[in-house]
Structure 1
């Protein structure tokens, strides 16, 4: 169920240069996995963090794990036949981009970091090749932010079309992640005609949509039709 090199983000600061400083606390009180690194002048101070139980951790949250900022990508609560229950958390290291699955004891306490979640509209791919940087506009301030493909990877960016509304998580003016809507409407640009005698219950066929992404659709879908797609799974949801 749970399955590079430094670049720049919105503020122009290399990702590889980010370091994290936790609020000071005695070792006896520090939650598991949150030993604070040495503070450096001018670096982000995660003083907005607060303790949260491992059993309460949810997808999309940002936590401090082993002294660095991580985003929770998925969780699974496990109750084995023997032994205590635990949580398997799929985490992305925001600094280096690595993804790991960590096992958390039910009574573990983690530091959750409060980030600024902004409603933004996708404008265009400034590189023009489908790999960014991607330009978004804040719905409230109208400020534009460039987001690199380490923050919004191909699995997400392949669904972006102009004016798509997203939620961008920011900290200290830097984008950390992009959440796409649960459903996106896209126009089918290339798919084979419906075979004679095919029905909706037949095996789905391949189709390409306006963003260049490839999906599977029912045999009755034709070129030019708008469809709804789940951008997280690539699943066809129905006609738009």
Structure 2
């Protein structure tokens, strides 16, 4: 078992039976009182933030987490099938690990997946931006680009997002995976 003083930002710990990632860690010594560690942690399953005070020397369970790059192959029900580019091993991860980003990933994209003790996936991270083709959108009228007005556009994967008026059917656009927001039009 490790102590609180062994922790650093980004470590994964087991706290109250849940896997948590340390976001902030402060060692405080208030005046003539005893020192303590103020730790802000995020639950990797549901994203909730917890804060707690720990005494110096208090034991915590630091998890051994291995992060690797995997290539996304295809969706299979509530799971995503991903392949290790080095060993060609395939793993199934839950779609919930990616959150809203799962709507904007395409086959062949590289995901960053963290495994606890080399067994179960605890986090998955999609690239920040992806390039997608607009399958359908209403045509914009000339002179409509003076304001920041948005219109609906359907992407190649069937997801509908809001884009500026100058984007047309067949254009390739860059989309932010975490929010689904339009970033820019991509030239070939």
Q: Does 1:122 align with 2:77?
A: no
Q: TM-score, normalised by structure 2?
A: 0.76
Q: Deviations for 1:122-150, whole angstroms, at most 9, x for unmatched residues?
A: 111123xxxx3211111111111111233
CA distance in 1, matches of 2:165, 2:67: 39
Structure-1 residue corresponding to 2:162: 216
Q: Deviations for 1:210-237, whole angstroms, at most 9, x for unmatched residues?
A: 1222322111111111111111122222
Q: TM-score, normalised by structure 1?
A: 0.61
CA distance in 2, matches of 1:106, 1:222: 56
Q: Does 1:188 align with 2:134?
A: yes
Structure-1 residue corresponding to 2:144: 198
Structure-2 residue corresponding to 1:176: 122
CA RMSD of aligned residues (A): 3.1
Structure-2 residue corresponding to 1:103: 51
* Alpha carbons 2:134, 2:155 under 8 Å: kept: yes
How many pairs are equivalent? Answer: 174
- The 3 A distance-change label for structure 1 pair 145 and 201 is same
Moved more, 192-201 or 99-108: 99-108
**Please, which runs of 5 or more residues in structure 1 have no aligned partner?**
1-22, 32-49, 78-84
Q: What displacement does 1:105 show?
A: 4.7
Structure-2 residue corresponding to 1:233: 179
* Alpha carbons 2:135, 2:153 under 8 Å: kept: yes
Q: Deviations for 1:80-133, whole angstroms, at most 9, x for unmatched residues?
A: xxxxx96654323xxxx4442212459878654331111111111123xxxx32
Flag the structure with higher strand content.
Answer: 2
